[in-house]
Chains A and B, each alone.
Chain A
Amino acid sequence: MASIPLALEYKRYVLYLCRCSGLVGIESLYFCRHCKLLRCMDCVSVQIDGTCISCPSCNDSVPQTDAKAKKFRCTHCYQCPMCTTPLATRFVQLPPPPGKSESAPDTSSGKTDASPTKEGTGESTALTPKTSKRLSLTPSSLKSPGSTKMYYLFCTSCHWTTREVDIPDKRSLLDFKEKPHPFQDRYKALLSYYKDLDLYERVSSQNMSRQVSGRKPRPFSSLLDTSKYKKDPEVQRVVKQVQSVALSAKDPVRLPDSYYTEPVDVSSLTTIQQKLLDPSHQPSHVKDLWPHPLPLISRKTIRCRGCDHILLKPDVNVNLVRFKIQHVAIQVVPRIRLINVPKLTLGEPSLVPVSITSPVSYSMTISFNQLSSSKKLKEILCPAVIPEGSFVLKSLDDTSDLLDDSSQSVSLGADQSDYVLSSEPGRIVLKFGAIPSREDIDAKIGFEVVFSYEPLIEADRDPGVTELTVPVIINCGHSFA
């Protein structure tokens, strides 16, 4: 007996076929009211919502320009360089310093406990984002007069701390800045060199051939080749200048003997994954690790690719899960569900009970077609028995619970009622059939669901009933009798 709802398990029995022939669960389908089309994540256009960039840990919303300047990383949340968990903040309260020398923090961890300091869990970023922000930005605002708070970072998962790698405690969380790239100056020199060269090339080529219309791209080698400027003293000067910082071909160095004699402690070395967390330094020893600022996350605006109307627009407040605009399939498309995993018999029609639930407040007419599918789909599907005729799903209103069920049931023709197992407002259970043809794979049946759609808003251009079609594929499993 399952103790939690099975509907949320990852194994999906029912998948909807998007018009771009992607198979998706109904939750990831969007519905464009203007094109009257269902679209999956592969056939919508997704954009970053500039107002919804936030830190996953402290939940502070960061304006896009600020985020860009910080390379889309949080300014005061950090990530463990060992295990990528967000680091918690701890502080040590130092007594009012009689002389400044005492405030130099004790870097060997553990010793601070012996000195007359109090150690406490700083209001961790996870607990109260607002306070922690205040703490981190202006630590002076909270401290008691005279005493100083010194912060260090601590991983709650692998217990790595900034003290372990001899990073002194800081007065503010902002001080755990990333180390600059080791060859930054050289990089900048090269950058300005190539900019100059490009400009020079552009000017000289314009002088030479002003009359030639249209651009004619040069290969990249033209930027590398400086020999053609041999006669130009100005270019030569720039070239010499950059070569003095850039070129450094040497004889390779022989490995020191320690490689052959010293034992290696793997636990003091970083793994490749840990190295790559910090592309610019790639420390190979654990002692060189440095906390990384936490990458920000963003919510996305989703637009229809056909008409560019917005299908999903998140709320500005990153703490809310509301959406300003949300047009998802779950609001209009009937939900198809398997009642249970059916018992199948190879080569014979087996009963597959399927429930159809209407999400809408109007009564929905629904019918089924055989799937006109591509060759590849036909290979994986087995023949299906599909109910004929159309069924009406009455709207589910809140008072229906109080009324007698029988008065609400669907009126059906005599032959149609053969297909109906049970019906109630907004929900009907129908008999489908599968004729499994192969034992080695899951038996899957496919059919098209044709359902009526009435726009909720009258302002939509053509009011009235429209028929929409969505192909559905049901995996009936392979429990053969």
Chain B
Amino acid sequence: MSARVTRTVSSPAGRSLASSRVRGNLVPQDKGAIVLDIGHVHTKLGVSGEPAPRYIVKSEVLMKPYGEILNVWDDKYINREELYLILCRFLHKVFLEYLIINPREYRIVIIESIVSPLNFRNTLAKALFIHFSVPHVCFLPHPSACLFSLGSSTALLIDIGLKETSIVPVFEGVSLIRSIMQTTTSTSSLHSSLQLLLHEHCQVKNIANGDIHPLSDNKDLELTSSTLSNIIMQTCFVRSLDFGDATPPDVCFPINAQFSLIISGLVRCHVADILFEGCDGDVSLPISLVESLLLCPIDCRSQLCENIVVVGGSASLPGLNYRLLEEIRLLCGNSRYQCLDALKFKFHELHSHPNYTAWQGASIIGAVESAILERSITKEDFKLLDYHLPDWMSCNSQNWGSLQQVSPQKIPSSQPGKVIQTVKSGFEQ
């Protein structure tokens, strides 16, 4: 009985305290940050202070009224005004349907690739600040984010993305910008290699009557990119060079109710070779790695080599790291790379799945409130910057500090409508 009495007495006081904090327009301390990693295929979304994202969803959005499904990185719109609307609707889905939060009450941490297109960054910031009126956005570079999840300050990062693989050496927290290597040898080259090999070597089995015929005869059987990535993830692995020419057994992979694909063992172990041969005339992974090392200062190299980290969706291919080491060792025999021969190469064992390593790091740092607030851009800053984000490298430049002292002005409320207006006119067809 007495417990009930105390509860009723204490609750109104508690409520008024909470409401006064909200009214004071402060970001309440316990809410944490929303951490977003908008990838080319999947978006990792969640709340800081949690070891894994809450959802990993496709970076796609349904555009009404015509009902087309668009990827937020769609090449057609990446440099156009329509991107604003696509991002607004995508973020709406992320905040209000998946996370069920009101974004204006949270600080936001966005993981950005160091090579993300300028228009994409600006449009994303515009969508967050104007359409969702969030108070703070922090753009966290991808390499730093990965390092936070490792607890280490030095690493040689290999990020295998959909369209690009980037190799970023980070020494004592500083990304060595001159040594960054980019190559188009990436997940999409895996896909195209698989498609090619399947058409050459694979057969289709009709489940109903047991007929077997080559895939190249079956023109109308289309392999979508999600089927291709499932084939890679479920059946393929990276062959180690010392195993010789052994052929693993064939695998039967059902595609739909009618057909299944017989994936030959050769395809299974040779698909990933494209990563070590290079694709479309671009350099392979091991070459870009050693080239990047050559560009690093000599006294950093040994530490970097002992801290190699492979992240990205395709990093979970079995045997990838071992083969990478074998290939690097082979390259070290080459006269150009002889200086690297004495180095020890060690790979980090990740404590997360490689597809959300960066997200995990950002979630750690997102929970450190003061660190994030200090490095965030506020709505007022963004307005003063004339709706253009500073480059990620110039965040600590001099004019940034002076920016803070200018008195913030309110963004006129008519702004959101205007932006959408200009954006939407591009969609009419």
Contact = CB atoms under 8 A, between A and B. Distances in A.
**A–B direct touch in complex (beta carbons closer than 8 A):** yes
Nearest to B305: A249
Interface string A297-309: 1101000011000
Interface in B83-123: 85, 88-89, 92, 96-102
Given A21-B421, A183-B351, A187-B351, A224 B368 contact: no
B52 A279 contact: yes
B214 interface: no
A64 B402 CA distance: 41
Contact of B235 (A45, A213, A266, A295): A266
B52 A181 contact: yes
A23 interface: yes
B28 interface: no
Interface stretch (B150-158, B159-167, B279-287): B150-158
Scoring B53, B96, B346, B417 by chain A CB atoms within 10 A of each residue's CB, the highest score goes to B417
Contacts of A247: 150-152, 348
A186 B174 CA distance: 24
Interface string A1-32: 00000000010100100011111110010000
Given A20-B421, A187-B360, A272-B230, A300 B96 contact: yes
A250 interface: yes
A42 B364 contact: no
Contact of B269 (A15, A71, A245, A260): A260
A254 B322 contact: yes
B29 interface: no
A200 to B, nearest CB: 11
Nearest to A307: B413
A169 B254 CA distance: 32
A358 B279 CA distance: 63
Contact of B226 (A251, A264, A273, A300): A273
Contact of A298 (B54, B100, B325, B367): B100
Given A23-B428, A25-B65, A243 B365 contact: no
A339 interface: no
Contacts of A266: 234-235, 251-254
A412 interface: no
A217 B148 contact: no
Interface string B47-69: 10111111111000000110100
Given A222-B173, A259-B319, A251 B325 contact: yes
A198 B100 contact: no
A184 interface: yes
B140 A226 contact: no
Interface in B245-266: 246-249, 251-254
Interface stretch (B215-223, B334-342, B369-377): B369-377
Contact of A279 (B54, B269, B306, B424): B54
Interface in B137-151: 140-141, 144, 147-151
Interface in B394-417: 395-396, 400-402, 404-405, 413-414, 416-417
Given A223-B173, A224-B173, A194 B395 contact: no
B321 interface: yes
Given A22-B420, A194-B368, A248-B348, A218 B374 contact: yes
A127 interface: no
A280 interface: yes
Contacts of A296: 100
Interface stretch (A93-101, A115-123, A373-381): A373-381
Nearest to A257: B243
Contact of A276 (B56, B371, B401, B405): B56
Contact of A198 (B247, B322, B370, B402): B370
A228 to B, nearest CB: 9
Nearest to B57: A276
A338 interface: no
Given A10-B67, A183-B51, A252-B347, A217 B400 contact: yes
B276 to A, nearest CB: 14
Interface stretch (A46-54, A311-319, A359-367): A46-54
Nearest to B243: A260
Contacts, number: 255
Contacts of B322: 252-255
Contact of A43 (B230, B238, B417): B417
A103 B80 CA distance: 64
B200 interface: no
Contact of A217 (B85, B352, B395): B395
A456 interface: no
B128 interface: no
Nearest to A255: B319
A248 to B, nearest CB: 5
Contacts of B356: 279
B240 interface: yes
A440 interface: no
Contacts of B428: 21, 23, 374, 376-377, 380
B318 interface: yes
A202 B374 CA distance: 10
A261 interface: yes
Interface in A384-410: none
A296 B96 CA distance: 11
Scoring B254, B318, B420 by chain A CB atoms within 10 A of each residue's CB, the highest score goes to B420
Interface string A222-262: 11111100000000000000110111111111110001111
A264 B100 contact: no
Contacts of B426: 376
Contacts of A107: none
B349 interface: yes
A11 to B, nearest CB: 10
A67 to B, nearest CB: 7
A110 interface: no
Contacts of B233: 272, 284
B98 A295 contact: yes
B44 interface: yes
A174 B242 CA distance: 50
Given A247-B151, A248-B348, A254-B322, A263 B251 contact: yes
A268 to B, nearest CB: 10
Nearest to A218: B396
Contacts of B395: 217, 219
A219 B144 CA distance: 10
Contact of B151 (A193, A259, A260): A193
A227 B252 contact: no
A413 B355 CA distance: 71
Nearest to B173: A224
A261 B248 contact: yes
A22 B417 contact: no
A43 B422 CA distance: 13
B420 A21 contact: yes
Contacts of B368: 191, 194-195, 198
B39 to A, nearest CB: 12
A215 interface: yes
A194 B364 contact: yes
Contacts of B56: 276, 279
Given A190-B364, A191-B367, A217-B400, A252 B321 contact: yes
Closest 4 CB pairs of A and B: A246-B151, A224-B173, A280-B52, A252-B321
Given A15-B65, A279-B54, A298-B96, 11 more contacts: A20-B424, A42-B420, A183-B352, A191-B368, A248-B348, A255-B319, A261-B249, A266-B253, A279-B56, A280-B51, A374-B428
26 contacts: A43-B416, A48-B100, A71-B47, A72-B99, A181-B51, A193-B151, A194-B148, A194-B371, A198-B368, A217-B395, A217-B400, A218-B374, A220-B144, A221-B174, A224-B153, A224-B173, A226-B153, A226-B172, A251-B325, A262-B249, A264-B251, A266-B253, A272-B233, A279-B46, A282-B355, A376-B426
Interface of A: 10, 12, 15, 19-25, 28, 42-43, 45-48, 53, 67, 71-72, 181-184, 186-187, 189-191, 193-195, 198-199, 202, 213-227, 242-243, 245-255, 259-264, 266-267, 269, 271-273, 276, 279-280, 282, 284, 295-298, 300, 305-306, 374, 376-377, 380
